[in-house]
Structure formats: structure tokens, C-alpha cells
Amino acid sequence: MGISIFMMVMSIVYAFYVGAAKSTRGSVEYSDAIRSVMIASEAIRRDVSQMLFQRVGRDLAIFDDYRALSVRVPSSTLAEVDDGSDLWRAEHTPVTYTLEPVQNSKSNAKILIRKETENNREDRLRSCLLQDMFVQYFPPSSAAESISPLQGYLDIAVIGLASKDSSVKYTTSLLIPLPYMSAPQPYQVDVDVPIKNN
Amino acid sequence: MAQPNINCPLARPRRRRGMNLTEIIMAIAIAAGPLLYSVQMISSNAKGARFNRERATARLILLDLATLLMGEPSDELAQRLEPGSGDDLNSLLEERILRLRPVSPVAEAGYREEAKPIGKITGSLTEDFDPSLPGLARLTLTAPLSDDKNAVILHILFRPKARDYLRETQYEAAAQGTDG
């Protein structure tokens, strides 16, 4: 009888141990999935926040069935600015975000790739595993499909994974406002009608 | 020296025959301490993980809603957040989630699932928030978590008139197709 009680107590302790290990692993995996989502969304937000947005057809491209995005951002070096001082005449070069499938993944994992056309540089965000990503553009309009009559938006939905074979995923979506860029009035006055010295 | 009387029944070693009830109760009582402690540890671990996840989700959702609300003209925003206006920010979030459906029903379902534990989201707008800085307004959004004890609060300071002016001029520029 002593052995049977000992076995019973040990099996209960083992069941709790398994439960604790599973719970800990689950929470760690959720944290990893959230981290993947945050890295991806903040990388895209950083580029979109400094993009030049004047014409939809020229400055913004969404392709690959809503899974890829291309925006035009200012060149990274000031040397490429037209005369070294005029930021409004800076070169704007495309930056493209695409997804690349991970080999032998049970969860259909993908890596986010950021490609700069300017210097043909390709960054693979390896610490950031995604299952999918979707990009939508909402133009400023009073139509029901649009969000705001005065503000255009980019909507990025991201499904993050903890690891390439993990079933734990985290989904979020973020709106990024897209203000139309236009040269401010005082600037135009300075350039077009220079003030003459008396 | 006298030899001990080994025939005495009190001096003879007794053979155990199983465990009696007192011993069983003592064994369970001793084991109960670590068991209860492990139960408490598992429970607090799961609770902490759930709290962290909900807090991260609430922050992302509030940021998302704030971006959405900041796109509205100031008078409409003030009307929406007026106390007793009956406008529900959770329905605004639901509308926002529904916009994901045309491109990905999977993302829509996933985002809705993540947002489920978040309680009733409330918002308020304080105009002239700081008397020393006229025209500065404060938007406050609050999302309670599922434990009913904690909430995530987001404050945004902005100048409504300047924001409206800038956006209207941008919109006009866009409507005219100017490149700036």
C-alpha cells in the first residue's frame, strides 16, 4: 500500500511538472511570436514613416497578392542630395519588403526580406519568422471602403511565428498614416522669389 | 553483569505489517505542501504569461485605434469622445478588423481572437490640456484587461487646429495632383 501511495503522489507531481513545462514553453513561444510581429511591423513602419508619398502609382506598390510592399525613401547618404543642402531634391529610392519561404518548415514559415534598390543591399530579418503578411492601401476618401476623408492609410497585417515548426502564432495589424508630401509655402517663397538685399 | 532478557516481548523486534491510517494521513499531509506550492507556481506562471500577452495586445490595439481616431477631423473626434455620446470604441475596432477580410480572412480571425480578452475600450479628449500651452489637446484611451484589475492607458498630445490645417492643405495638394 505504501508503494501505491508513493506512486500516486509521484504521478500527480509528474503531471504538474508536465503542465508547468508546457505552460512555460507556451508563454515563451507566444513571446517569440509577438517579438517577430513587432520586429516586422516596426521595420516597415520606419521606412513608411519617411517615405515620399506624392503619387500612388509611383511612390507605393503593393504586389504578390497583397504580400509584398515597395515604397520610396530618401537616399541614405547626404552626398546624393542634389546640391548638398536641398533635402527636397533628395534622391528617393525604392525599398521593397517581400516574404521568402523557410526550407523544411512545418508551419509554412517565411522570412521577411528588406531590399534596397539604391545599393542592391538585401537584409534578411532572420530573427523574425512570419507565417504571412498582408498590405492594404486606403486612400483618403469619403467612400465607405475608405477610413478617413482627409488621411490615407497603409494597413499591415502580420502573422508571427515563434519558430519555423511552431504552431504558436500571433496576429496583429497596424495602421500607418500616409501624409501627402508637398513643399511648404515658405520654402517655395525663398526659392522662387529670392529676397533682394538693399 | 546481568544479560538482557531476550525473551521479554517488549525487547523483541516487531515486524511491520503494512501502513496504518495515521501514516497514510501523514504522508499525504507532507506531500500536500509541495503539491500546493507547485499548483500555485503553475497558476502564477500561466497568469503572468497571459497578462504579458494581453498587455502587449492592448498596447498595439490602442495605438491602432489612436492612429484611426487621429485621422478624423477634430470636431468629429470631439463629438465621438464626448461623455454619454454612446459611441463605442469596441465597435470601431470591430469595423477596423473587418477591413482585413477582403485580403485575408485568416488575419481577420487571428486579430479578432487576440483582441477578445480586451474589455470595453473608453476614450476621452481634453481640450486645452495645459493652460501654459494653449491649443494643446490630450487624447486618452483606456483598455481594461481580462483580470478586471489592470488596464493599459495611452495618452497622445496634439494640436487639433494645426493638425486639421495641415491635413486639409495636404488633401488639397493631393486633389490637385501637385508634386510639391
Cβ of residue B39 closer than 8 Å to a chain A Cβ: yes
What is the radius of gyration, based on Cα positions, of chain B?
33
Over 80: is that where the pLDDT of A12 sits?
Answer: no
Over 70: is that where the pLDDT of B14 sits?
Answer: no
- The pLDDT assigned to A61 comes to 92
- The pLDDT assigned to B4 comes to 59
Residue B149 banded pLDDT, cuts 50, 70, 90: confident
Between CA A98 and CA A132 the distance in angstroms is: 10
Residue A184 banded pLDDT, cuts 50, 70, 90: low
Residue percentage of chain A with pLDDT more than 70: 82
Cβ of residue B152 closer than 8 Å to a chain A Cβ: no
Q: For A19-39, what is the mean pLDDT?
A: 86
Over 90: is that where the pLDDT of A133 sits?
Answer: yes
Q: Which of A111-115, A181-185, B130-134 has the lowest mean pLDDT?
A: A181-185
Nearest partner of B121 among B67, B54, B62, B72, judged by Cα: B62
Over 90: is that where the pLDDT of A99 sits?
Answer: yes
- Under 8 Å CB-to-CB from A180, ≥6 apart: which residues? A53, A54, A152, B170, B171, B173, B174
Over 60: is that where the pLDDT of A196 sits?
Answer: no
Q: For B23-52, what is the mean pLDDT?
A: 82
- The answer to whether B58 and B145 are in contact (CB under 8 A) is yes
Over 90: is that where the pLDDT of A20 sits?
Answer: no
- Between positions 90 and 119 of B, the ones with CB within 8 A of A are 96-97, 99-100, 102-104, 106-107, 110-111, 113-114
Nearest partner of A132 among A162, A102, A115, A110, judged by Cα: A110
Over 80: is that where the pLDDT of A78 sits?
Answer: no
DSSP secondary structure code for residue A163 in this structure: S
CA distance A119 to chain B (A): 26
Over 60: is that where the pLDDT of A82 sits?
Answer: no
Q: Do B100 and A177 touch (CB under 8 A)?
A: no
Q: Phi and psi at residue A156, in whole multiples of 5°?
A: -115, 115
Cβ of residue B43 closer than 8 Å to a chain A Cβ: no
Q: Phi and psi at residue B78, in whole multiples of 5°?
A: -65, -40
CB-nearest partner of B171 from A31, A140, A157? A140
A187-196, B37-46, B61-70: range with highest mean pLDDT = B61-70
- Supply the pTM of this predicted model: 0.78
CA distance B7 to chain A (A): 31
- Under 8 Å CB-to-CB from B48, ≥6 apart: which residues? A27
Q: For B96-105, what is the mean pLDDT?
A: 92
Q: Which residues of A touch B60 (CB under 8 A)?
A: 172, 174
Look up residue B79 and give its three cell numbers. 463629438
The predicted complex's ipTM stands at 0.78
Q: Do B110 and A171 touch (CB under 8 A)?
A: yes
Q: For B32-59, what is the mean pLDDT?
A: 85
Residue B129 banded pLDDT, cuts 50, 70, 90: confident
CB-nearest partner of A175 from B52, B67, B110? B67
Over 60: is that where the pLDDT of A192 sits?
Answer: no
CB-nearest partner of A16 from B23, B42, B177? B42
Q: Which residue has the higher pLDDT, A122 or A194?
A: A122
pLDDT digits (tens, 9 = 90+) for A58-75: 889 999 999 999 998 887
Residue B66 banded pLDDT, cuts 50, 70, 90: very high
Q: CA B51, B56, B57, B62 torsion: positive or negative?
A: positive
Q: For B81-93, what is the mean pLDDT?
A: 81
Q: For B24-44, what is the mean pLDDT?
A: 82
Cβ of residue B150 closer than 8 Å to a chain A Cβ: no
How high is the mean pLDDT of chain B?
Answer: 82
Q: Do A31 and B52 touch (CB under 8 A)?
A: yes
Residue percentage of chain A with pLDDT more than 90: 35
- The answer to whether B137 and B155 are in contact (CB under 8 A) is no
Q: Which residue has the higher pLDDT, A103 or A180?
A: A103
Q: Do A172 and B178 touch (CB under 8 A)?
A: no
Q: Phi and psi at residue B10, in whole multiples of 5°?
A: -75, -30
CB-nearest partner of A183 from B99, B174, B180? B180
